[in-house]
Amino acid sequence: MAKRDVRQGTLALMVLKTLDVLGPLHGYGIARRIEQISGDLLAVNQGTLYPVLLKLEQEGAIQSDWGTSDNNRRARFYRLTAAGRRRLTAETRDWAQTTALIDRFIAARAEDLS
């Protein structure tokens, strides 16, 4: 099956969750983890990823600093801020509500509505 691009608007949530679970990580690492967790169904394009990281940083949800990766490469490491953690909680709740809602619509049958 061909890899799919990440759905619009969901990448930010994935990035926040990844940083929350795994702690500070560089851009490449974030992309890898998201692809892994999706079971390699998703492809994270760097042209999409870095603007999202920048946007989150501009909004104050994450911060970044230069550091050294496991195999000694210079890389920028992103970590979650307190504001980012609050945002993750709020967005997770929103997402759960949205999916629950959509699930109910999809599961609905004619007799349920009569």
In terms of Cα–Cα distance, which of 14, 13, 17, 32 is closest to 70?
32
Binding another protein (rule: CB under 8 A), the pick from 8, 9, 39, 58 is: 58
In terms of Cα–Cα distance, which of 90, 91, 65 is closest to 76?
65
Query: To the nearest whole angstrom, how small is the minimum distance from the Cβ of residue 96 to another protein?
Result: 21
To which H or E segment does residue 4 belong? strand 4-5
Query: To the nearest whole angstrom, how small is the minimum distance from the Cβ of residue 48 to another protein?
Result: 8
The rounded distance, in Å, linking the Cα atoms of 33 and 53 is 15
Judged by CB under 8 A, the stretch of 13-21, 22-30, 89-97, 98-106 that binds another protein is 22-30
- Tokens 């930010």, residue located: 12
Q: 79-108: which residues touch another protein (CB under 8 A)?
A: none
- Residue numbers of the site for another protein (CB under 8 A)? 26-28, 31, 45-48, 50-51, 54-55, 58-60, 69, 71, 73-76
